[in-house]
Structure 1
């Protein structure tokens, strides 16, 4: 419990603080207005500020150890995936090459069905995709 005298002192202190806060808000508003005027004179726009803030934030993020570690991991994974895809493409191309070179020794049934399969739209589409993938990986 507080006495009546302490209540009066607290009310006076509260009024002073509210008055100071009001004064500080007015001063802050005046300073912000002056800041905007100076920026306008210098040609600094909101868009320029946003670009600068974004650039700085992006740079700060790129220098973090977490970003560097993630970048290295993803880069390594990409290299591994590229190598794996290249190996698969090479193996498939080699297999098709082997099939072509051994097609003479196949039975008549195989020699009849292989050209039919090779000329099918599905096979041609698959072969084109494999060749495109292998070519792009080698480049």
Structure 2
């Protein structure tokens, strides 16, 4: 009987819900009331975080719409962010201290004996090099080469200009010669020459014969009976 009652009691206990707070042991040093208060505060904070995320998403969408209406592209936003980041870097303490350190190191290097000695040595070498015969000869050679190149280019330009002038003059002379030939043909002396008169007489004779033959053919078509009365001499070709 006792074993049966214990089995029924165990089955009944498994059906009873158990609270999570009751199942988990309270952290060391906290009472159950303090733990419950902390859990309640944690739930509120998580709820506020979710609300803030929703508000932030809405603000970002609104910001994107405003940028789109203003014609601002993501590239403009990136440039603005980079400029702001660079400004923040320049005004940061680390950047200012680094700049000051670099300035101090530069002053120390330029004022050091090694730097001054090296600068003096380089100046001496430069002076010796510019005063050497090899440097002077090289400079003279380069100067002469530059002058020769300029002269060659000038000669090429002169030749091209002269060629263009000759071509223009040849074209003008050809036009003038053609005009003089046409003008000489139309001159009175040419018209009064024997050759021109002979040519003009021949053209007139041929013209009269052609006109006469056309008139004879026209008369023959209008009077067919009279065509047989004419002598063969009248119908002879010219």
> Structure 1 or 2: larger helix share?
1
Query: What's the TM-score, normalizing by structure 1?
Result: 0.48
Compare CA radii of gyration and give the structure with the larger one: 2
Q: Which has the higher contact order (CA 8 A, sep 6+)?
A: 1
